[in-house]
Amino acid sequence: MSGGATRRDALRVMGASIALSALAGCDQPDEFGHPLHGRGRGVASEDAVFPTTLELDGLGRGVLVRTRGGHPIKVEGNPGHPGSLGASDVFLESAPLSLHAPERSRHALQRGRPAAPGAVRDAFAGLRGEGLRIVTGPLSSPTLRRLVAEALEASPGSVWHVHDPMADPASQAAALAAFGEAMEVLPDLRAARTVLCLGADPLGHGPAQLALARAWREGRPRLLVAEASPSLTGARADRRLALHPAEFEPLARAIAGELGVGGLVAGATHLAAASLATALREAGPGALVLAGRGQPAAVHAIAHAINAHLESSALRLISPPSGGGEAMAPLEEAMRAGEVSRLLLLDVNPAHDRAGFAAAMGRVAHSAHLGERVDETGRAAAWHLPLAHPLESWGDSRSFDGTPGIRQPVAPHPGGEVRGTVETLLALLDREGTGRDAVRDTWRTVWGEVDFEARWEEALEAGVAGEPAPAASLALRPDWDFPGSPFPPGLAAHFAPDPHLRAGAFAHEAWLQELPRPLTRLSWGNAALVAPETAARLGLAAGDEVELTLGGETLRAPVLPLAGQAVDCVTLPLGFGRRAGGPVGEGRGFHAAALRPADGAWVVPGLALRATGERIALIARESQPGLEPDTAKVVAPGERLPPFAYGSSLHQPWPYPGAAWAMAIDLDACIGCNACAIACQAENNVPVVGPADMARGRGLHWLRVERHDRPEDRSLFQPVPCMHCEKAPCEPVCPVNATVHDHEGLNAMVYPRCIGTRTCSNNCPYKVRRFNFEDHRRRVDTPARNPDVALRPRGVMEKCTYCTHRIQAARAEGRLDTVETACARACPTRAILFGDLNDPQSAVARARHDPRSYLMLEELGTRPRTSYLARVEEGGA
């Protein structure tokens, strides 16, 4: 590409002189003498696909990684794995991007300076011995758990702590109280008929999202959601209540009382209780109550009790796949007291998540941090050891339901001092052998020697290494209930993971930073979310800076009034305000974790808030309503929309022999998880434009997910790719034939021919065309780019191509009937269908005849190939 770049630069400079000869009919000859790779050992020249496993919050999701020339270029879900079911989310899709991040650590650092060669051995030597403290994230990996255990044995008096900013202590406590042992509830949304979510967000981002969303799509239970801050589940709810944190326990108790749940110590009343209780009672065993992160232990306990009382068949109890480990608070105490001399932090960043941790680390004589980049913890630690990317190293993990899977590397191991987590523990144990050997040893002990090799190969190929965890059948203990102290009214701080950055683990992913959040529409930053009523009372508008005070700590943050937010509840998204870890994440938004108490509570009363009078520019890509009404249609159950009525035309329609590609998007299935948008960005080398240009409205996302308001502050999400109109308005206005139709009805955009008049974007009624205001090629052109999609130079238009390169590849391989666009492939609820209209059996052709099917802006007569299926709601539009 560099050849191309220089070529174009040259043209840019001496355009005039070229113009003459060009007038006489010359274009630029292509570059010459580029290196062409002969095949290396074991490297296929064409695509190769590897099944492996990637973790989120310590729980694995099976993926298929497509590689070209030995480099991963795309991650897709592994249909055989319960954690992904063939779908993917924003975190899986963006995995290859960070492989080539320039800020990744390649060398060990001692007190911030490159360590002398071989000195790393001393580092490990220093860690071995009395009172070693090992801090890991939540571990589901059998191998890691085994090695940690062995490390603890090796050095007496050592302790294993688990640092999990996403953990929910209350739910663990409640499970203990209710069942006597640590248990986790696996909701079965396929079997459920009515689901009451008390602050629970099963459809929201998380390790189980893909599975739960698919199950919800297939079972379509009635969703009753009570929550303090809008969530994806609340957006899709059939009934939604915005409750102040103080109201949840009373509501739960009231419902339990209405249902006559036994063992209820204290009762309460709540207005909504009666109707909710009735709904649950009607559902009988199909009823399910889910208490979410941040609810007091009592609410969790009551949820267990109600489920038991109604003999709910829509859930399974399993022992948590990533349980175990000591808490962090005692460790921090000990560190402050100077009692800790050896500290090893494996791929965790407590210095960012816990306010006082960095300072405490200063008192640890010998601390080592293993991470992909020098983050806050890496800076505070005496040693920073470079961690291999998950796609580069061996490992294993369990999915949310306990299904094990093996992680095999799909990219070349960087070598040198870079180690995977497993290899690091091996080094700590001073063991020989590779990570692969360690993982094989683990499974050899599980499977035994008998035809181990066969099972190993099988597990690698399937991406699944065993069965889900068995369901425990435990009776509810009579003394399950323990009323907590009543939650005080008034302003409450409600900490929440950012939908894209979690607690900050993904702050380095530019794709995730830039993509507008599903509900807040914020990009490149966070804001303190307040209810419009609260904002009105305090006279605050979006972008006003406020000073937040909680437990003595203060913090400055911009506010964003958000419809559906509970009054007097201020939601503070985590994951921002990074002070280290690379240019992408550093200094974005505000550091909400600084206010969070040491016990990792999610909801804290007694928040003080005062306007500073300053303003902070928010990048909120909130859409204004369009001129045409109901571009996103809603119907009542059973309602039929009128069949397509194309506008009349002077010309006879153009024939499309062969295939006629089309897409159908089911608004009733879409949960707004943004997976399609990131999948599109990953597949099509869509550049990141950065905060400045995002604020200016120059984002390049080919596929945008629009958010429409619904009653009860719910939301309707509408993915908008190119419509590929058969009578595309963009084409007749282009002066140079740079956008034209092909013989299969694709609206093609020919980048090399485009001169950038932008008149096509002007004439696109769907506003799906994007313009390269700057040259982004250099940043996109990493080995992780998709070689099948050209990079776009400055000054040309680009847009969704229906993944035309995938169609061409499928044609070459003679499997046109299975061709799928990247967005359709990623969608966890299968809301996006793609196929051939000329084939009456194709899903798309059938969707077009669905009574819910409609075309956007049909009255313009553009004849879009992308059709929509209206959302279904009680009472319709």
Partner 1 sequence: MAPIFTPRADARLRLVLVVAALLAVLALALGYAWARSGSTWAVGKPAEQPIPFSHAIHAGQLGLDCGFCHSDAARGAGAGMPAGELCLGCHQRVWNVTAQFAPIQAAVDAGLATQWASVHRLPDHVRFHHAAHLAAGVTCATCHGAVETMPRTVRAETLSMGWCLDCHRDPQTRGLTPVGLGAQPYVHAGIEVPPLTRCTVCHK
Partner 2 sequence: MKRILGAALYWLFRHPPSSAEVVLPPRGAGTIAEFRDADALTEAVRAARAEGWTLFEAYAPHPVPDAAEAMGIRAAPVGWLAAGAGAAAMAGAYGLTMYLSVVDYPVNVGGRPPHAWPVFLPAAYILGVLVAALAALLAMLWLNGLPRLHHPVFAARGFLRASEDRFFLWISPDDPMHTPEGAQRFLRAQASLRVSEVPPS
Partner 3 sequence: MSTESPPPSTARVAEAALRPLGWGGWLGFALAGAGVVLLAIAVARLLWVGIGVWGNNIPHVWGFDLIAYAWWIGVANAASLFAAVLVLRRHGLRTAVNRFAEAAALAAVLAAALYPILHLGRPWLFYWTLPYPNTWGLWPQFGSTLVWDFWGISAHVLVTSLFWYVGLIPDLATLRDRAARHGRVGLARFYGLGALGWRGSVAHWHRHQAAYRMVAALVLPLLLSAQTVVALEFAVTVVADWHQARLPLHFIATGLPSGLGIVLALAVALRHGLSLREFVDRDDMDLLARLLAAAGVAALLAWLHEAGAALLQEDGATRAAFLVRLGGPAWWLAVVMGGLLPQLLWWRPLRRDFVFVPVGLLAAAGVWLDRWSLVVDGISRPRVPFPVPAYAPSGDEWALLLGSASLFALALLCFGRFLPIVSMYETRHEESEHEMEEEER
Site for partner 3, rule CB under 8 A: 11-12, 15-16, 18-19, 22-27, 521, 621-629, 631, 693, 695-698, 706, 708, 720, 729, 731-737, 740, 753-759, 761-763, 765-767, 769-775, 793-797, 856-857, 860, 862
Structure tokens at 130: 């009395």
Q: Please identify which residue in the block is written with the tokens 């399993």.
A: 318
C-alpha–C-alpha distance, residues 550 and 554, integer Å: 6
Which amino acid is it at 246? A
Q: Is residue 368 within 8 Å of residue 127, measured between CB atoms?
A: yes
Binding residue (CB under 8 A) for partner 2 from 336, 741, 779, 794: 741
Which of partner 1, partner 2, partner 3, none does residue 628 bind to, with CB < 5 to 8 Å depending on kind? partner 3
Please state the closest distance from residue 13 (CB atom) to partner 3, in A.
Answer: 8
For residue 40, state whether it binds partner 1 (rule: CB under 8 A).
Answer: yes
For residue 731, state whether it binds partner 2 (rule: CB under 8 A).
Answer: yes
Q: Is residue 665 within 8 Å of residue 866, measured between CB atoms?
A: yes
| Burial call 802-840: b when 16+ CB within 10 Å, e when fewer | bbbbbbeebeeeeebeebbbbbbbbbbbbbbbbbbbbee
For residue 23, state whether it binds partner 1 (rule: CB under 8 A).
Answer: yes
C-alpha–C-alpha distance, residues 763 and 766, integer Å: 9
Binding residue (CB under 8 A) for partner 2 from 37, 41, 113, 651: 651
Q: Please identify which residue in the block is written with the tokens 């059996």.
A: 841
Structure tokens at 142: 């059998």
Phi, psi of 352 (to 5 degrees): -90, -40
Binding residue (CB under 8 A) for partner 2 from 713, 726, 788, 820: 726
| Burial call 729-744: b when 16+ CB within 10 Å, e when fewer | bbbeebeeebbbbeeb
| Number of residues this chain uses to bind partner 2 (CB under 8 A) | 19
For residue 840, state whether it binds partner 1 (rule: CB under 8 A).
Answer: no
Binding residue (CB under 8 A) for partner 2 from 173, 460, 740, 877: 740
For residue 732, state whether it binds partner 2 (rule: CB under 8 A).
Answer: yes
C-alpha–C-alpha distance, residues 149 and 157, integer Å: 12
| Number of residues this chain uses to bind partner 1 (CB under 8 A) | 54
For residue 269, state whether it binds partner 1 (rule: CB under 8 A).
Answer: no
C-alpha–C-alpha distance, residues 380 and 834, integer Å: 50
Which of partner 1, partner 2, partner 3, none does residue 649 bind to, with CB < 5 to 8 Å depending on kind? partner 2
Q: Is residue 645 within 8 Å of residue 717, measured between CB atoms?
A: no
For residue 11, state whether it binds partner 1 (rule: CB under 8 A).
Answer: no
Binding residue (CB under 8 A) for partner 1 from 654, 774, 849, 859: 654
Which of partner 2, partner 1, partner 3, none does residue 863 bind to, with CB < 5 to 8 Å depending on kind? partner 2
SS3 669: coil
Residues 6+ apart with CB under 8 A from 308: 475, 476
C-alpha–C-alpha distance, residues 465 and 442, integer Å: 12
Phi, psi of 669 (to 5 degrees): -100, -20
Which of partner 2, partner 3, partner 1, none does residue 771 bind to, with CB < 5 to 8 Å depending on kind? partner 3
Give the containing element (helix H, strand E) for 717: strand 714-720
Residues of span 763-792 touching partner 1 by CB under 8 A: 788-791
Q: Is residue 702 within 8 Å of residue 799, measured between CB atoms?
A: yes
Q: Is residue 226 within 8 Å of residue 272, measured between CB atoms?
A: yes
Which of partner 2, partner 3, partner 1, none does residue 726 bind to, with CB < 5 to 8 Å depending on kind? partner 2
Part in contact with partner 2 (CB under 8 A); list of ranges 390-398, 405-413, 710-718, 732-740: 732-740
For residue 653, state whether it binds partner 2 (rule: CB under 8 A).
Answer: yes
Please state the closest distance from residue 684 (CB atom) to partner 1, in A.
Answer: 10
Residues of span 722-761 touching partner 1 by CB under 8 A: 740-744, 746, 748, 750-752
Q: Is residue 394 within 8 Å of residue 438, measured between CB atoms?
A: yes
Binding residue (CB under 8 A) for partner 1 from 107, 431, 805, 846: 805
For residue 655, state whether it binds partner 1 (rule: CB under 8 A).
Answer: yes
Nearest CB to partner 1, comparing residues 38 and 697: 38
Please state the closest distance from residue 747 (CB atom) to partner 2, in A.
Answer: 9
Which of partner 1, partner 3, partner 2, none does residue 16 bind to, with CB < 5 to 8 Å depending on kind? partner 3
Q: What is the dihedral of CA 523, 526, 530, 536, to 10 degrees?
A: -70
Q: Which of 713, 718, 726, 593 is nearest to 668 (CA)?
A: 718
| Largest Cα span, the chain | 91
Which of partner 3, partner 1, partner 2, none does residue 15 bind to, with CB < 5 to 8 Å depending on kind? partner 3
Nearest CB to partner 3, comparing residues 17 and 278: 17
Q: Which of 269, 298, 299 is nearest to 196 (CA)?
A: 299
Part in contact with partner 2 (CB under 8 A); list of ranges 83-91, 488-496, 722-730, 751-759: 722-730
Binding residue (CB under 8 A) for partner 2 from 334, 728, 819, 856: 728
Please state the closest distance from residue 231 (CB atom) to partner 3, in A.
Answer: 21
Binding residue (CB under 8 A) for partner 2 from 17, 278, 445, 649: 649
Part in contact with partner 2 (CB under 8 A); list of ranges 263-271, 371-379, 433-441, 731-739: 731-739
C-alpha–C-alpha distance, residues 740 and 748, integer Å: 5
Sheet containing 866-869: give its strands across.
Answer: 832-836, 661-666, 866-869, 853-854
Nearest CB to partner 1, comparing residues 24 and 450: 24
Structure tokens at 198: 């008390």
Which residues contact partner 2 by CB under 8 A?
649, 651-654, 726-732, 734, 737, 740-743, 863
Which residues contact partner 1 by CB under 8 A?
1, 4, 20-27, 29-43, 45-46, 69, 651-652, 654-655, 657-659, 740-744, 746, 748, 750-752, 788-791, 804-805, 808, 811-812
